[in-house]
Amino acid sequence: MERTIDREQPHYFGAGPALLPADVLKEAALDLVNYSGDNLGIGEISHRDKRAVKVIDDTKANLSKLLDIPETHEVFFMQGGGTTGFSSIAYNLAANYATKNNGETPKLAYAVTGGWSQKANEEAKRLGFQTQVVVNTKDIKYTDIPPYSEWTPIEKGTAYLYVADNETVHGNEFKDIPTDYLPEGVELVADMSSNILSKKIDVSKYGLIMAGAQKNIGLAGLTIYIIKKSLLEQASDDQLVSWGIALPPIAFHYPTVVKNNSTYNTIPIFTCQILKLVTEKLIKEGGIEEIQKTNEKKAEILYGALEKYPNFYKLAVKEKARSNMNVVFTLHNAELEPEFIKQAEAQQLFGLKGHRSVGGMRASIYNAVTLETTEKLVDFVKQFAENNS
């Protein structure tokens, strides 16, 4: 089949790398060949070229506009994804805490509400940090987020509380911020890789937001960081070493990255350009408020269709904790699950197989998944249940 830059709207529910808007991809394809009429592609110019720096600056400005980022916070980009963030966050915020507390080594608190927050805690421990798990819902298979009154109090001498705001694999999402739970001086750190720009948030409440781009708003290879500027302060390397504080690798040393406007080393500028185009599109289409309304509608009709057949579909996650981005479900008759996937694909509905660690099905209804695509899945969900009950 002859390839073309045009395509029909795909009905793809993959969890990441995930769907991107077709108009964004078409523009990016042209940029990859010839950016701004310069006879060079966006991926061929230096990351310190003025054109590349403008891509970075424009993307930062778009994020600041969409999220209403206050002057107290800084936006920067680094190579990698969430896994890079697990380690870089621990290194940098521990160094900041020690700098502010006469060399004291901090504890790091983690809310383990799914597979990704579990991995973040495990990585911090592997690197030698003392961690405190304040809540762990593994025994209930990560199907709920308990009220903060049931969490273990955070210990004295803790630098931050880490939460995965949306757990992509297990399909749960925080609906509020544990502001009253946090002791004074303990920063809130959130992994928003799979729900960044999907809903309105109050950035001022967070010490640090980390989001890999490839799930909801971009391509793999680039991670967004939004950090409180006061958390960038670090003592000299010699001073930190004298205190016994581990140093982060220079490429992931936040003060260095920020000082160099995310260009200390070569970040993927093409990936940043994709992010710029996506954020421009969101701004043109009404910003976060509009996309949030659409996302809530998509989640409402899909969960509603699954709930309509309680003897056929099983929704393990409690209603108050269900993700608006990743709808996870199984069939009471597990033997029918391969047939569900097969028939869905016959109707051009792809990417519905659940994560290998949990099985079942998962529909990731990120920003780029249209309401019309979600309605097509809703119709199939109803049809399959009625034909097989």
Residues annotated as catalytic are: 116, 191, 215
**β-strand 349-350 against 11-12: which pairing, if any?**
parallel
Q: Are 85 and 210 in contact (CB under 8 A)?
A: yes
Q: Compute CA 362 distance to the chain's CA centroid, rounded to the nearest angstrom.
A: 16
CA–CA dist 328, 355 (Å, integer): 9
Q: Which two tokens stand for residue 223?
A: 């991670």
List b or e across 137-170, with b for residues whose CB sees 16 or more CB atoms inside 10 angstroms: beeeebbbbeebeebeebeeebbbbbbbbbbbbb
Rg (CA), the chain: 22
Other C-beta atoms closer than 10 Å to the C-beta of 266 total: 12
Start-end of H helices in 170-313: 237-242, 254-259, 269-284, 287-307
Q: Are 127 and 109 in contact (CB under 8 A)?
A: no
Which whole-number Å values give the CA distances from 352 to 13, 307, 345, in the listed order? 6, 18, 9
Angle, CA of 189, 320 and 143, to the nearest 5°? 75
Please enumerate in sequence order all residues whose Cβ is within 8 A of that of 11, keeping only pairs 6 or more positions apart, or say none. 348, 349, 350, 373, 376, 377
Report the SS3 class of residue 63. Answer: helix
The helix (H) or strand (E) run that includes residue 329 is strand 326-331
Q: Which two tokens stand for residue 168?
A: 């992509």
